Amino acid sequence: MVLGQSNGMRVRRGAIEAHLLRDGYRETWVIDQSPGARSLVAVVQAAYGGGRLLLLPNGAVIKPVPGRSDGERRLLGHWWGTLTLVSPLGQRICTTEANMLVQPPNGSPRSLRPGDPWPAPSTTGLRCRIDASGALSAKTWQASRWGRSEVEYPVTAPDRLLSLCYRIAGGHGSGGSVRLLEGGHVVMPNHSMDGGLARYVGYVPPSCLPSISDWKNG
């Protein structure tokens, strides 16, 4: 079992792609072609012919198995270090930096604040729910005697600061849907007033997340 249902990147055309919807147009970003990224692409293409891939902030590399109605996912290995996404125009954003910086039209770079538009693809991470306490949970499918059933698992413990940041970003006090991205950043779904960009919520250090074995065997 692996957490995650509607999320991830995609191995296609010899690269790992992620998509960003901006003002109604879809931009295709790619992971910077490091030796590690090229090796991962080669493994996925050889075994599965490409397709969806999920990189979790605890280092797990997950592959949904094509054609499996029970939602089976397999652990391919783990990743570490920095991860840089490159836009069609060559803009480079390292999504694994704890202190994400943005460049305003006029002024010096500054750290992202709760409610700021997220400047990179926002569907690459784990789809979660944040509750009023700031705790994150995620759902997955598990095989059962009736075919498959949906199960919810805790991802992080209650976090008062994350809960506050979520409300500052415009979220409801009772909680709602968020994404926990590969670098540990948490974002809210798209808002039309931001041109379709997700809103930044906050950051979850990898040390606060379950281990790879916990998510594999949980």
Q: Write down the pLDDT at residue 178.
A: 94
- pTM for this one? 0.84
pLDDT at 88 over 80: yes
Q: Write down the pLDDT at residue 112.
A: 87
When mean pLDDT is compared across 7-11, 34-38, 59-63, 170-174, the lowest value belongs to 7-11
Q: Write down the pLDDT at residue 167.
A: 95
pLDDT at 199 over 60: yes
Q: What is the 3-state secondary structure (H, E, C) of the chain?
A: CCCCCCCCEEEECCEEEEEEEECCEEEEEEECCCHHHHHHHHHHHHHHCCEEEEECCCCEEEEECCCCCCCCEEEEEECCCCCEEECCCCCEEECCCCCCEECCCCCCCEECCCCCECCCCCCCCEEEEEECCCCEEEEEEEEECCEEEEEEEECCCCCHHHHHHHHHCCCCCCEEEEEECCCCEEEECCCHHHCCCCEEEEECCHHHCCCHHHHHHC
Q: Write down the pLDDT at residue 5.
A: 43
Query: Rounded to an integer, what distance in angstroms lies between the CA atom of residue 56 and that of residue 214?
Result: 13
CA gyration radius for the chain? 17
pLDDT at 7 over 60: no
Q: pLDDT tier at 71 (50, 70, 90 boundaries)?
A: low
* 199: Cα separation from own chain's centroid: 13
**Averaged pLDDT, 51-56:** 87
Identify whether the C-beta of residue 120 lies closer than 8 Å to the C-beta of residue 150: no
Q: pLDDT tier at 4 (50, 70, 90 boundaries)?
A: very low
Domain boundaries, the chain: 9-217
pLDDT at 194 over 80: no
Query: Rounded to an integer, what distance in angstroms lies between the CA atom of residue 53 and that of residue 73?
Result: 10
Measure Cα distances from 71 to 78, 142, 158 in Å.
20, 7, 28
Which of 133, 144, 124, 122 minimizes the C-alpha distance to 188? 122
Q: Write down the pLDDT at residue 76.
A: 85
Q: pLDDT tier at 140 (50, 70, 90 boundaries)?
A: confident
Q: pLDDT tier at 2 (50, 70, 90 boundaries)?
A: very low
205: burial class by Cβ within 10 Å (0-12, 13-18, 19+)?
exposed
